[in-house]
Amino acid sequence: MPLSKRLDLFGEEIFASLNEKKKSLEKEGRSVYNMSIGTPDFAPPKHIVDALTESAKDPASWKYSLQDLPELKQAVVDYYRRRYGVSLSPDEVMSCYGTQEGVGHVCMALCDEGDTVLLPDPCYPVFRAGVQLSGAACAWYPLKKENGFLPDPDAIPEETARKAKAIFVSLPANPVGSVAAPDTYEKLIAWARKYDVIIIHDNAYSDIIYDGNHGGSFLAHEGAKEVGAEFFSLSKSFNVTGARISFLVGRRDIVDASKLLRSQIDFGMFIPIQKAAVAALTGPLDSVKAQCRLYEERRNALCGGARRIGWDIPDAKGSMFVWAPIPAHYQSSMAFCMDLLERAGVLCTPGASFGPHGEGYVRFALVLPPEKIAQALAAIENSGILKEA
Ligand SMILES: Cc1ncc(COP(=O)(O)O)c(C=O)c1O
């Protein structure tokens, strides 16, 4: 029986062959340096775990929560003021089961068939899936090396700008590791106003930013709340990826539309997880800062180490990812990934899986400590993979 045509939108799992290869290498007893997936290897802070376990002991916590607890919405409001200097009201906050889920659904609340949504190319894949599920059309704007892998709204063709209903922006960026320049958001906001386009900003990595820079919120910029909203995930800052905690905050009608959609299909976040989120947002942030320094050490180990063995990988400026150009003698990022795994035991992600402009690059996730990264680089150097003509 043919099932929904919607499923035809989603192609084959491109990682299947890499995973098969990884398994077979491990079976042979070879060590694999897995830097493909952005799951942090750090632990969540104890006060967050304690808040969850304490709440889980109370039978009342196991009922349908039906809504975001007032203390949770207030914690987000206070955090935004304290951490980002942004003033929000509790009505401008909605929880979601991670940004992945939130982004997956938000276009259903904003768009119809016939609408167009602009996406960065390359980008985090769920941006595209969410647009497709809503029935809207995707249009891409390239993140180019010569432009520091940043959005350039002035380069978006006039016709596309006029058609666009929304644009996704995400900085620090996965997979390219760029961070906003001082005028990035000002330019985007002016452009969005001119063409009446909603900006959806995905702020997953404001706490992982290097070289003395300070990560902030899109909403801290003048006029941002009139044109858009932001997804704010706790996953990477607090190492709670499995708990699925994120928020959509910002322009009221965007948040309200998302709440209405959600109320039809969901009964609210598990209360112990809401309590854990409150603990994260109201608790100390020293571990978040310390962790950023550890990511920076890893960034230095990978980018600096690669340059020392003749692989010119520029420093990532933020996010937990490094965007590496493939050696010139390779035709495709997938072919290079396969060879890198086979010959050096190093697993990373083909850039082409993030969009057409991702071809020619691979993405490394900084999920190994510096000493393991050094071993992975030694394996790469010894394999000779960088040198062939
Ligand atoms: C840009 C970006 N947004 C969102 C997420 C996922 O966030 P969450 O765990 O809240 O779904 C990721 C995870 O890799 C990401 O890279």
Cβ distance 170 to 202 under 8 Å? yes
Please tell me what DSSP assigns to residue 209: B
Per-residue pLDDT of 196-224, as tens digits, reads 999 999 999 999 999 999 999 999 999 99
Say if ligand 1 is within 6 A of residue 333 CB: no
Cβ distance 25 to 341 under 8 Å? yes
- Ligand 1 centroid distance, CA of 100 (Å): 6
List the chain domain ranges: 5-43+287-383, 46-282
Say if ligand 1 is within 6 A of residue 233 CB: yes
- Protein residue whose Cα sits closest to atom 12 of ligand 1: 204
Q: How many CB atoms lie within 10 A of CB 387?
A: 11
Enter the CATH code of domain 46-282.
Answer: 3.40.640.10
* Structural fold of domain 5-43+287-383: Aspartate Aminotransferase, domain 1 (3.90.1150)
Per-residue pLDDT of 67-81, as tens digits, reads 999 999 999 999 999
Q: Give the DSSP letter string of 7-39.
A: GGGS---TTHHHHHHHHHHHHTT---EE-SS--
Say if ligand 1 is within 6 A of residue 349 CB: no
Per-residue pLDDT of 325-363, as tens digits, reads 999 999 999 999 999 999 999 999 999 999 999 999 999
Q: How far apart are CA 98 and CA 277, in angstroms?
A: 12
Assess whether pLDDT exceeds 80 at residue 66: yes
Confidence of residue 12 (pLDDT cuts 50, 70, 90): low
Predicted local distance difference test score (pLDDT) of residue 2 = 87
Tell me what the mean pLDDT of segment 28-50 comes to: 95
Rounded to 5°, the CA angle 126-36-131 comes to 5
